[in-house]
Structure 1
Amino acid sequence: MKTYEVQAGDTLFGIARREYGDGTLYPVIARQNHLADPNVIDVGQQLLIPYVTFRHRMHATDSIGTRKQITELHYGVTDSSTQLAWEIVNGVAQREIQRGAWLLMPELGDVGHHTVVAGETLAGLAARWYGDDHLALLIELANHLPDGTVAPGQVLIVPGLNRRHRVSGDTLESLCRFEYGDADVATRMAVVAAANRIAEPDALFSGQTLVFPS
């Protein structure tokens, strides 16, 4: 989470579009900051901005060229390993991307580090960081690991991507307590609901996948 100082001309919609790639996620910021009216923010006001993985709306027809353009737009390169990283996150490495779909664009740069300890694997780290061991390949690609193995003492870049959790007999409150602890649970629940566009927090369904902003 970071702090942002409101500038002249800012709106929550505009801040959310810049931070998340999707202005309609402005309720995430509004609920984190307990704003009674999200249309009213003041120049100089300090806002807490929860981390939500940046999103890209697919406007063009899917093609090799379109995917390279997306990769260059968000990462400044066109290499296949960087492209594969966001494809893996979105499950589209071997599947067509439909026009209008939202894509999650993980942060692959110098966004955080982890020193490997004995017994750790990429699959275990992916499960802990993202709630999905299949995303081990994301860590492998971000760190340019040729064989996917790590050794104690090795320092890894931690790609930026929200944690996921598949609902199975859980409530939004129990999930938020598990992810964040018991402090300020009501705010956490409101932010998670907004990030996942949940209108009825008491109406989760089994198998639903939720993302948890940091």
Structure 2
Amino acid sequence: MKLLVAILVSALAITVSFAYDPSPLQDICVAVKDPHHAVFVNGRFCKDPKEVEAEDFFFPGFNVPRNTDNNDGSNVTNVNVDQIPGLNTLGISMVRIDFAPYGLNPPHTHPRATEILVVVEGELYVGFVTSNQLGNKLITKVLKAGDVFVFPIGLIHFQWNVGKTKAVAFAALSSQFPGVITISKSVFGSNPPINVDVLAKAFQVDAHVIKQLQKPFA
């Protein structure tokens, strides 16, 4: 009897260890019954290994400063599977973030990746907010050149240049295509717009305040 229980427990453990969904590489994937309408989960074919070359794993010019002349005063240069096809299935990518003085990489999330960031120039005030379950605690730190900070997967986070000079940071992310959801743009700039009354109730403000917040994204 003890042997039978042990076998059953082992079988259950093996079943549980393999019964999970892989991390998605897309925002949505609607199931279809007709295979002729199906697509690959990551939307990409794999090249014949015999035809692979160095260019499939290469991206130039990551050292070149980017233009930060915009409303946020920042510019994010992505190096994911779109830029380096060889990243497909490897579960990693990078970004370069350039900041003008007092430039901001506004609150956003990466639904598919944890981010680890290193500051190479300037001074950044960074932070993330924990989930509702943990009381939405704000975790912040002022980083200087050489400092490293981690933003856990899926949590809202930001980086703000608090210096009078430009700043530069590089980050690695634990997905070949992390995705990004900018909170203000998603909430106030959705297409079509979210009902004003819904947002007014959610943010507990008058409807005219919501309309003002939606205007820049119209």
Q: TM-score, normalised by structure 1?
A: 0.25
Larger % of helix: which? Answer: 1
Q: TM-score, normalised by structure 2?
A: 0.24
Larger Rg: 2
